[in-house]
Each structure stands twice: as C-alpha cells, then as structure tokens.
Amino acid sequence: DTGVSQDPRHKITKRGQNVTFRCDPISEHNRLYWYRQTLGQGPEFLTYFQNEAQLEKSRLLSDRFSAERPKGSFSTLEIQRTEQGDSAMYLCASSLVAGSGNEQFFGPGTRLTVL
C-alpha cells in the first residue's frame, strides 16, 4: 500500500495525558498536512510542512499542540495535557507540489477520545 498511513488508528486517553500520533506520507510527496475533524464538520487545518520546514500553523493550534517532521519524511503530532475538547479525528494528508493542483491525499485518520 503506497498511500498515507497513520498510527494509531484509535486512541483513548484520560484527560491530562499526553498523546502522540504518527503520519507517514506518500513516499515522493514533499508536503504534509495535519487537519482535525469533529462530527458534522469538515476538516479544519492545523499545520503543514514542506520537507522538514513547518510553513504554517493555524491559530486553532494552542501551545499544547506541537508537530514535527524531523527528516522531511514522517511527521508526529503531539498533544500535551489533553482536554475533552481535543476529542476528534486527526487527519494527515500529503501532496506533491507540482503545477496548480496541490491535490492532497488523506490517510485513514487517528480517532482520539479523551475521557
């Protein structure tokens, strides 16, 4: 399978705990994006990388959230001191910047439940 992969697929944690998610993009893609989706809403942008550089962060991304892409390949998203409002599907997408399409392909997502 050469698509975007995410791990874990599901995570249940208690409020106040830290969690970390991993995303592996499509191998030749140099851009990687994180989105968050709650029930009945479209995905909301969180942050994105071109290679290892983090180019943009949403104002939604509080200082409890941090993302890295250390070698320009996989990325991690960490949430510290989780809150119940962090419960959502966390989606990773990747794209190859070529032309004006910027087609983003999503992974299966990590569903986070904070108790």
Partner 1 sequence: QKEVEQNSGPLSVPEGAIASLNCTYSDRGSQSFFWYRQYSGKSPELIMFIYSNGDKEDGRFTAQLNKASQYVSLLIRDSQPSDSATYLCAVNLYNTDKLIFGTGTRLQVFP
Where does the chain show beta strands of DSSP type E? 5-7, 10-13, 19-24, 31-37, 44-50, 53-57, 65-68, 75-79, 88-95, 105-106, 110-114
User: Could you tell me if 14 and 114 are in contact, meaning their C-beta atoms sit under 8 angstroms apart?
Assistant: yes
Sign of CA dihedral 55, 77, 5, 52: positive
**By the rule CB under 8 A, 100 interacts with partner 1:** yes
**By the rule CB under 8 A, 74 interacts with partner 1:** no
In the list 21, 23, 25, 33, the residue contacting partner 1 (rule: CB under 8 A) is: 33
Single out the segment in contact with partner 1 by CB under 8 A; choices: 15-23, 71-79, 80-88, 104-112: 104-112
* Nearest distance from C-beta of residue 101 to partner 1, angstroms: 6
Residue 51, sorted as left (phi over 0), alpha (psi -120 to 50) or beta, turns out to be: left
* Nearest distance from C-beta of residue 65 to partner 1, angstroms: 15
* Nearest distance from C-beta of residue 45 to partner 1, angstroms: 4
Q: Which residues of this chain interact with partner 1, rule CB under 8 A?
A: 31, 33, 35, 40-45, 48, 55-56, 58, 89, 91, 95, 97, 100-109
